[in-house]
Structure 1
Amino acid sequence: MGSKIQTSIPKFVKSYSNTGNLGNACRLFDKVPQPDLRSWTILITAHTKKGFPQESIKLYDELRRNNVEPDKLVLLSVAKACAVSRDLEKAKGVHEDAVRYGFGSDMLVGNVLIDMYGKCRFVNGAQRVFDGLGLKDVISWTSLSGCYVNCGFYKEGMRVFREMGLSGVRPNSITISSILPACSSLKDLYWGREIHGFTMRNGMGDNVFVSSGLVDMYANCLSLKQAQFVFDNMGRRDVVSWNVILMAYFSNGEGEKALDLFRRMISEGVTLNSASWNSAIGGCIQNGKKDKALELLAEMQNSGFKANHITISTVLPACTDLESMRTGKEIHAYSLRNQFAEDIMVGTALVFMYAKCGDLELSGKVFNMLVRRDTVAWNTMILANSMHGNGEEGLLLFQKMTNSGIKPNSVTFTGVLSGCSHSRLVDEARLVFTSMKRDHRIDPDADHYACMVDVLSRSGRVEEAYEFIQKMPIDPTAGAWGALLGACRVYKNVELGRIAAEKLFEIEADNPGNYVLLSNIFVAAKLWDDAANIRKLMRDKGITKSPGFSWVQVKNRVYTFVAGDNSNEQSDEIYSYLEELGEKMRVAGFRPNTDYVLQDVDQEEKVEVLCNHSEKLAVAFGILNLNGGSTIRVFKNLRVCGDCHNAIKFMAKIVGVQIILRDSLRFHHFRDGVCSCRDFW
């Protein structure tokens, strides 16, 4: 009787497994004192097929503990489970068992093992299995080349693909679709065209995966017309094909054409997926269309699509501008409701968004709540403190980062050194710079040398900064000379200013900022003729100064101001308020610094010019529309002038509010008559 039950068990297990009732199958299986190999095989295979790879692996481990010798079917099934779960350690164990029980050279088992290692991103294992095969078919070659490509070893993938052809094995459509991403990444148009020709000669043109791969390859090789040609001649297009050509236009800077294509997808009834919306939103951000990206996010939700963590991390960079602050907070709330904030990409994007919008406190809170922090997350928090002038905090974070075992990279040191430059931490910066190669084996690049020049320059050591530039082992970049030129403006060093400017005129001849800075140096030194010559040089070269403007948000609307602006509906009130506030400021000890007026006009006119600067107008407008608030956030596209910086300190103290100003260099937090930069920026 017992033998009959034992014999019927595999049949019932298989029956339950086939109907998807794995619970009953497992319960029946557990009743068997000594299940045979067939029962194990059926149950393990069923769990793999039904999408429970971890359970398959656990069952296989139990099989081995029961000293049951696996056969070919079990090994095939558990190898597929390891591939799905990306469990490299278990994958290595399965490979060892395959060799131990005589299947190391079996082509079918070998092909699955190669694919398994490819999914686990372990090329050495895949190559070892491939080398041990007695016979190799198209699947063997395809799996190996695909493994290299998936792991980012594109040249190796192409090498295997070429060896496949030399071995007389004919590629199939899967081979082609898996190798085309290598051509895309290497921008190898020659081999891409060769593969395209092969597909046409061998009737693969109608394969949607091959055609999509060709579109992507041509787009990455900057052959957009050819990409469009392949797309137009596809016999069948699925949503993936549309997404590929959509991203092709965005990636090549054709934002308007890409948006037209996206509208065409909708009008032609293409069944959009999340990737379609994410591609359109991300493409808009990539092409500088941040407002459009936010519009598409709203449209996506209105269409019934739910934003996922990729959508959130993609769209958050659009919220780094002041006008998107409210949207950024709404996205943060959405992320919390849907548990996306735990995703490290989303969390890091939120840290950066709050920092760029001027709320360093919230940025820090989000960072501290991250369950896991990688190098990018630490770098983002260090850079956040750097842009807010908190060099000491940046150094502390750097220390915590290395103590936690996270390895810093090049970006880490750029952030730390930049923070040191804004906080006059010269000695600390030297130690960090020295430690790069000595302790972390990172060779300083041009950005790091430029940061050190900036550290020395901002601290007033302009002669030392110049000597540092002369001793650099690499050619000084515009960043290094620009840091020196900016310091020469602050510390009124005319001669070094001339040298730095001349170098910059050679490196970036069309940058108006360099000419303006040198002209400012001459004006401050009362060298009117030299300043006039620089302005004439700009006119002769057709170089125009970038206009300065400031903006502030009131009631979810952004208001922009330029110097002497009269376009605002409250202009009369703004100027009247500034005049009234000016009297209070003078009583409190404020004196206009007319050195920041760059025209040779009388003193009274200079004072009037200073009153009309865009940042003062934006601050005044913000104060007039506080409506019970206690903080004003103003952004400026250029560096805030010294007179405005001093004036805003007095404004903050007299009115009793916090004024946060972000200029082109950093954030300034004004409160009670002082600035967070300690008058050093």
Structure 2
Amino acid sequence: MVINRFLRKSKHHNPCTKMAPSVPTNISSHLGHKLVKAALNVGDFKRAHQLFDNIHQPHPITCSTLISAFTTHGLTNEAINVYTSLRARRIKLDKFVFVAAAKASGTSSDLSRVKEVHDDAIRCGMMSDVFLGNALIHAYAKCKCVEAARCVFDDLVVKDVVSWTSLSSCYVNCGLPGRGLAIFREMGFNGVKPNSVTVSSILPACSELKDLNSGRAIHGFAMRHGMVENLFVCSALVSMYARCLSAKQARIVFDWMPHRDVVSWNGVLTAYFSNKKYDEGLDLFSQMSKEGVKADVATWNAVIGGCMENGQTETALEMLRKMQNIGFKPNQITISSILPACSILESLTMGKEVHCYVFRHRLISDLTSATALVYMYAKCGDLNLSRSVFDMMPRKDVVAWNTMIIANAMHGNGKEALLLFENMLRLGVKPNSVTFTGVMSGCSHSRLVEEGLRIFNSMGRDHSVEADASHYSSMVDVFSRAGRLDEAYEFIQRMPMEPTASAWGALLGACRVYKNVELAKISAKRLFEIEPHNPGNYVSLFNILVNAKLWSEASETRILMKKKGITKSPGCSWLQVGNKVHTFVVGDKSNMESDKIYKFLEELGVKMKLAGYKPDTDYVLQDIDPEEKAESLCNHSEKLAAAFGILNLNGKSSIRVFKNLRICGDCHNAIKYMSKIVGVTIIVRDSLRFHHFINGNCSCHDLW
């Protein structure tokens, strides 16, 4: 009655004043406990704190109750402040207060506070208590401090199942799954029987390590001890089998589950998509809604990511639209999954839309999303926007630096790639294997031979990165693109490992540019052995032989292709106008504006010839008369796409054309003239790199 009257005291005040009920001072311990508890029961945390501060000598139970209540309701700062005030007032504390304070500090990931609680418990001589020890292990685990957690564990005289479970899960959650499994095994050797929490927390270690054998052994233990009806254990088993690429076993566990939550559905979905069982995954996703299970953001991310993993880019975008229409907001994981779709489709418009979403929802601080944006813009042909995103990133890891270096390399900016590499080193970011591949690629596209060789030699000497086959191939490319073919061939012969198709392919490609027939034959012969069904190698050799007027040998190459059933990939070019992608093949007349395109090319051709353009008929491989050769060059897909883009500029100053094969020499020369006469920047991405045609010049300096 006294408590109720006190809480209702405010009703006797003038209602117009809306004054809060007064808080009595110097409350006794017994009454204070009841008042605080009553305030907490009605959710008045502020009043509970005020009452607590006026208790002359609060009982430890009151202290732990208030701290725990604050922590449970997400008010960890208030919980920690209560503990701090107790220390300042020199209130006598018991183990339950220390436990509550440890949980509050751990929940807020406040390592200094956890250490403070730990030190106080040691001074009070309470560290022999296993309950308190377990709370501190868990708190240190929340702070990712495995060493301190291990020290607490080692100091415990008695260790129960919670102690072992807390330590093993601490290792797993701190990215040390192998050590977590070792603790789990040690637990068994010490005669402590794992419970369902132990099993569900250690299975992610098997997932991370892709240790299927250990996962199966733990599954067997769970079955023998009646844990397979536990929802958390089963969900962890499904996830483990999914990560270990055992979709069949994941589905068996899933089907045997008496109750399934959305986490278990997500696990088996991931299992199907990760195992390239795309159709089964989509069927299961449809079944999920039929059974009344509500998908969450993780479900949609699993489906979108699964579509991307299985090359279903358009379906991934469709799923994103459905996700948003239902009312779910994409998060960082969604963005990281869908941005590669924009890169694959090379859709700058779509990429900008995603970027706007990222900006509006303040996801740009996410390192993975920002890095994906850097790559997307570079892949879609806008290196300036790529660099802008990179420069605005508040934090950059080695992946972000690698992405920017590779972006410059693919656009032929070798000097900028080198400068980025030097800045990266100056800022203390340690390069990895990918870094050197990107830098040397930039050197190859810019004919920076000495710089490339210097970078290659510095790998092991200065950075402790061992050069692998891809780095040796990159160095071959550096020599080859610069026309130093003999050095490239000698470098291949000195390689400490078997030369790869990339190395021989780099040499073969350069042989066409520099018209070295003998080395071309040697390179092609090795490539026919390494990858006998790659049509590009046969076509390259055929073109080299035709240009050298070696008709008989060229015919033999064509016959060899026919015998092996190898067909050349048809060349095509495409570009996006508005929201539609327009594709062109050689001699294409399917476009609605075909008449306008050919008429425009004819008129432009006259101006180009007056400006000095001469069709290079060496790139026409058919044995036809010169006039027909010149006419056939006008029908190449990249010229048609460029003409269509110019006709549909709609006020823009640049167009972006993409081609699945290498741009031919005549088209490269022609588009230079087109850019000068029309006054438009034409960006062409072929199978090797980006070409920026501006005012009659190309960024590759005609050395692609």
Give TM class, smaller chain: over 0.9
CA distance in 2, matches of 1:461, 1:348: 35
SS at match of 2:329: coil
Match of 1:25 among 27, 32, 48: 48
1:580 aligned residue: 603
Alignment of 1:552-631 (within 5 A): 552-631=575-654
Report if aligned partners of 2:27, 2:55 keep a CA contact under 8 Å in 1: no
CA distance in 2, matches of 1:38, 1:476: 73
Match of 2:509 among 471, 486, 491: 486
CA distance in 1, matches of 2:632, 2:697: 24
Report if aligned partners of 1:181, 1:213 keep a CA contact under 8 Å in 2: yes
2:662 aligned residue: 639
1:320 maps to amino acid: S
Deviation at 1:677, TM superposition (A): 1.5
1:348 aligned residue: 371
CA distance in 2, matches of 1:253, 1:519: 37
Match of 1:52 among 75, 80, 86: 75
2:234 aligned residue: 211
Match of 1:512 among 535, 549, 555: 535
Match of 1:290 among 313, 319, 332: 313
CA distance in 2, matches of 1:580, 1:163: 82
CA distance in 1, matches of 2:227, 2:398: 43
2:366 maps to amino acid: D
Match of 1:177 among 194, 200, 205: 200
Report if aligned partners of 1:322, 1:552 keep a CA contact under 8 Å in 2: no
Judged with a 3 Å threshold, the aligned counterparts in structure 2 of structure 1 residues 602 and 83 are, in CA distance, closer, same or farther, namely: farther
Judged with a 3 Å threshold, the aligned counterparts in structure 2 of structure 1 residues 58 and 451 are, in CA distance, closer, same or farther, namely: farther
Report if aligned partners of 1:199, 1:205 keep a CA contact under 8 Å in 2: yes
Farther off after superposition, 217-226 or 574-583: 217-226
Judged with a 3 Å threshold, the aligned counterparts in structure 2 of structure 1 residues 546 and 117 are, in CA distance, closer, same or farther, namely: farther
Alignment of 1:245-284 (within 5 A): 245-284=268-307
Normalising by structure 2, report the TM-score.
0.90
CA distance in 1, matches of 2:621, 2:489: 26
Alignment of 1:238-637 (within 5 A): 238-321=261-344, 324-637=347-660
2:3 aligned residue: none
Report if aligned partners of 1:322, 1:553 keep a CA contact under 8 Å in 2: no
Q: 5+ unaligned residues in a row in structure 2: which ranges? A: 1-23
Farther off after superposition, 612-621 or 370-379: 370-379
Match of 1:71 among 91, 94, 102: 94
Deviation at 1:38, TM superposition (A): 5.6
CA distance in 1, matches of 2:470, 2:149: 39
Alignment of 1:138-153 (within 5 A): 138-153=161-176
For the pair 1:158 / 2:185, whether they are aligned, the reply is no
CA distance in 2, matches of 1:163, 1:616: 69
1:366 maps to amino acid: V
Deviation at 1:432, TM superposition (A): 2.5
1:73 maps to amino acid: F
Report if aligned partners of 1:323, 1:556 keep a CA contact under 8 Å in 2: no
Match of 2:696 among 659, 673, 677: 673
Deviation at 1:495, TM superposition (A): 2.1
Report if aligned partners of 2:408, 2:416 keep a CA contact under 8 Å in 1: yes
CA distance in 1, matches of 2:489, 2:383: 34
1:272 maps to amino acid: A
* Deviation sequence 1:452-499 (CA, Å, 0-9, x none): 221121111121122222333333322222222211221122222222
* Deviation sequence 1:168-223 (CA, Å, 0-9, x none): 22222212212222333333333333332332232222222222222223333333
* Deviation sequence 1:218-262 (CA, Å, 0-9, x none): 333333222222212211111111111111111111222212221
Report if aligned partners of 1:323, 1:558 keep a CA contact under 8 Å in 2: no
CA distance in 1, matches of 2:120, 2:454: 52
SS at match of 1:206: coil
Deviation at 1:66, TM superposition (A): 5.5
* Deviation sequence 1:490-518 (CA, Å, 0-9, x none): 11222222222233233323222222222
Farther off after superposition, 28-37 or 77-86: 28-37
Farther off after superposition, 354-363 or 65-74: 65-74
Judged with a 3 Å threshold, the aligned counterparts in structure 2 of structure 1 residues 64 and 330 are, in CA distance, closer, same or farther, namely: same
Judged with a 3 Å threshold, the aligned counterparts in structure 2 of structure 1 residues 364 and 3 are, in CA distance, closer, same or farther, namely: closer
Report if aligned partners of 1:18, 1:46 keep a CA contact under 8 Å in 2: no
Report if aligned partners of 1:239, 1:272 keep a CA contact under 8 Å in 2: yes
CA distance in 2, matches of 1:521, 1:220: 48
CA distance in 1, matches of 2:580, 2:245: 39
2:377 maps to amino acid: Y
SS at match of 1:550: strand
Report if aligned partners of 1:250, 1:286 keep a CA contact under 8 Å in 2: yes
SS at match of 1:320: helix
Farther off after superposition, 504-513 or 18-27: 18-27
Report if aligned partners of 1:437, 1:444 keep a CA contact under 8 Å in 2: yes
CA distance in 2, matches of 1:433, 1:97: 55
CA distance in 2, matches of 1:33, 1:680: 85
Report if aligned partners of 1:650, 1:673 keep a CA contact under 8 Å in 2: yes
Report if aligned partners of 1:322, 1:635 keep a CA contact under 8 Å in 2: no
Considering only CA atoms, is the larger Rg found in Structure 1 or Structure 2?
2
Judged with a 3 Å threshold, the aligned counterparts in structure 2 of structure 1 residues 59 and 400 are, in CA distance, closer, same or farther, namely: farther
Judged with a 3 Å threshold, the aligned counterparts in structure 2 of structure 1 residues 84 and 499 are, in CA distance, closer, same or farther, namely: farther
CA distance in 2, matches of 1:103, 1:639: 74
Judged with a 3 Å threshold, the aligned counterparts in structure 2 of structure 1 residues 143 and 651 are, in CA distance, closer, same or farther, namely: same
SS at match of 1:678: coil
CA distance in 2, matches of 1:439, 1:105: 50
Deviation at 1:73, TM superposition (A): 1.9
Q: CA RMSD in A?
A: 2.5
Report if aligned partners of 2:25, 2:55 keep a CA contact under 8 Å in 1: no
Match of 1:231 among 234, 242, 254: 254
Judged with a 3 Å threshold, the aligned counterparts in structure 2 of structure 1 residues 62 and 508 are, in CA distance, closer, same or farther, namely: farther
> Alignment length, in residue pairs?
681
Deviation at 1:357, TM superposition (A): 1.0
1:359 maps to amino acid: D
SS at match of 2:569: coil
Farther off after superposition, 471-480 or 355-364: 471-480
1:344 maps to amino acid: L
For the pair 1:111 / 2:111, whether they are aligned, the reply is no
Report if aligned partners of 2:25, 2:54 keep a CA contact under 8 Å in 1: no
Report if aligned partners of 1:20, 1:50 keep a CA contact under 8 Å in 2: no
SS at match of 2:435: helix
SS at match of 2:347: helix
* Deviation sequence 1:606-644 (CA, Å, 0-9, x none): 223322211111111112222332211111111111111
SS at match of 2:428: coil
Deviation at 1:647, TM superposition (A): 0.7
Deviation at 1:299, TM superposition (A): 1.0
